[in-house]
């Protein structure tokens, strides 16, 4: 029996929390800065979630190819994801209601919480148990 890739497992485990996290971010944003800040924080959490899913799927794809592909996706993917956040923030800043401060204030803790969740899920697993680079299904 073949286990699911750890990246897809992480996506599956995080998925139920994404919409509630956006709701909490919205409520906190509204409480601290009004409705515009609420929408900005909810968008920030959504951007972090989409980035996480994109990273997980790209890592799962690269792991099936080779260790070099996995390393390339890790390095290039990081810069692409950070650039995506920056470009979205600049583009959204053109809207009157958007709050870049609230957006940035939500992106950082959302990313930190997501990374802590990822570490918790993967903790205790040996590196060799996590990936089977280039392995085909039997």
Among candidate residues 46, 53, 68, 45, the one with its CA nearest the CA of residue 8: 53
CB within 8 A of 25, min separation 6: which ones? Answer: 38, 41, 42, 44, 45, 106, 110
pLDDT tens readout for residues 106-130? 999 999 999 898 888 777 665 555 5
**The pLDDT of residue 137 is above 60:** no
pLDDT tens readout for residues 22-79? 999 999 999 999 999 999 999 999 999 999 999 999 999 998 888 899 899 999 999 9
Q: Is the pTM here over 0.85, yes or no? A: no
């Amino acid at each position: 029996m073949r286990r699911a890739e750890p990246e897809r497992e992480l996506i599956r485990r995080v998925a139920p929390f994404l919409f509630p996290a956006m709701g909490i971010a919205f409520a906190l944003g509204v409480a601290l800065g009004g409705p515009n800040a609420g929408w900005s924080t909810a968008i920030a959490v959504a951007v972090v979630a989409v980035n996480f899913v994109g990273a997980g799927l790209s890592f799962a794809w690269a792991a099936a190819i080779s260790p070099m592909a996995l390393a390339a996706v890790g390095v290039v993917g990081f810069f692409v994801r950070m650039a995506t956040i920056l470009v979205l923030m600049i583009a959204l800043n053109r809207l009157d209601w958007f709050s870049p401060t609230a957006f940035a204030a939500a992106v950082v803790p959302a990313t930190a919480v997501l990374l802590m969740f990822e570490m918790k899920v993967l903790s205790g697993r040996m590196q060799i148990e996590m990936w089977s680079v280039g392995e085909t299904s039997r």
